[in-house]
Amino acid sequence: MDWLKRKVALEALNWIEDGMTVGLGSGSTAELFLHNLKDKNIQGVASSKKTEKLARSLGIPLVETGKIDVTVDGTDVVDNSLTLIKGGGGSLVREKLVAYHADIYIVIGTKEKWKKTLHDETVPVEVLPFLHEGTKELLLSAGSYCSLRLDTNGYPFISDNGNFIYDCTNVKEVRAFHEKAVRLPGVVNTGVFLNLADVVLIGEDTGVRTERRNKL
C-alpha cells in the first residue's frame, strides 16, 4: 500500500503554493506528504512532536499560528459524508486544531480507509489523567466500553498534551457518541472529525479519487 500512500501524498502537493502556511498532519501518509514539501517555500504548523521533528530535519520552517491556508493530514477512517475518525497515532487534539484553523482541510488516505458509512467503529478519546477512571465510566454511559491505550512498555500512552487516550470500541452511532463524549468533564476531545474535511483524496489502484464537501 505504500505506493498508494505516495500517490495521494504527491497529489496533495497540487494544493500547495509558495508563501502558504501549511498545517502538517501526523502519521505515515502525512509524513510522506511532508517529504514532498521540502522544496516548497512554505511555513508549517506541526500537529505533533513527531511531525515537528521530521519537519525540522527536512528544513521546513515552523510557526504556531491559527491562520493556516491549507492543512493536509491522513485519517484512520472516512465515510461518504466526509466524517473522519482519527487518533490512531494519538495526535487527535492537535490534528483537530490544525484542521479547524485551516481555510482548506485536505485529507489523504488509501482506499481501505474509505467506508460508505461508519458503524461499529473504534473511536479514540483524549482524556485528562486526573480521575480518568471516573471519565471511563462516564464514557461507558455515553455508549461505549473504552480501554486505556498503553505504550509498548505497558505504561499508559501519553499524548503530546500530557493526557491519556481511551480507545472506545464498537461505537454504533459515531456522531451521537462524539456529541455526548465532548460534553463530559475530563474529556479533551474525540477522534471524530465532523464537518471539517473539505477535500478527501483517496488512493486507488486506478488513480486518485477526489471527494469534496459542497464548499469547494
Residue 5 CB, nearest distance to ligand 5RP (Å)? 7
Residue 33 CB, nearest distance to ligand 5RP (Å)? 9
Residue placing its CB nearer to ligand 5RP in the complex, 75 or 144: 75
Residue placing its CB nearer to ligand 5RP in the complex, 113 or 185: 113
Residue 50 CB, nearest distance to ligand 5RP (Å)? 9
Q: Which three cell numbers mark 50?
A: 513527531
Residue 91 near residue 26, CB atoms below 8 Å: yes
The catalytic residue positions are: 95
- Which residues of the chain form contacts with ligand 5RP (CB under 6 A)? 25-30, 73-76, 86-92, 95
How far, in Å, CA of 146 to CA of 132, rounded? 11
Residue placing its CB nearer to ligand 5RP in the complex, 34 or 42: 34
> In the complex, which residue's CB is closest to ligand 5RP?
27
How far, in Å, CA of 194 to CA of 27, rounded? 20
Pairing of strands 199-204, 102-110: parallel
CB hemisphere CA count around 53 (13 angstroms) = 5
Q: Give the number of other Cβ atoms within 10 Å of residue 179's Cβ.
A: 14
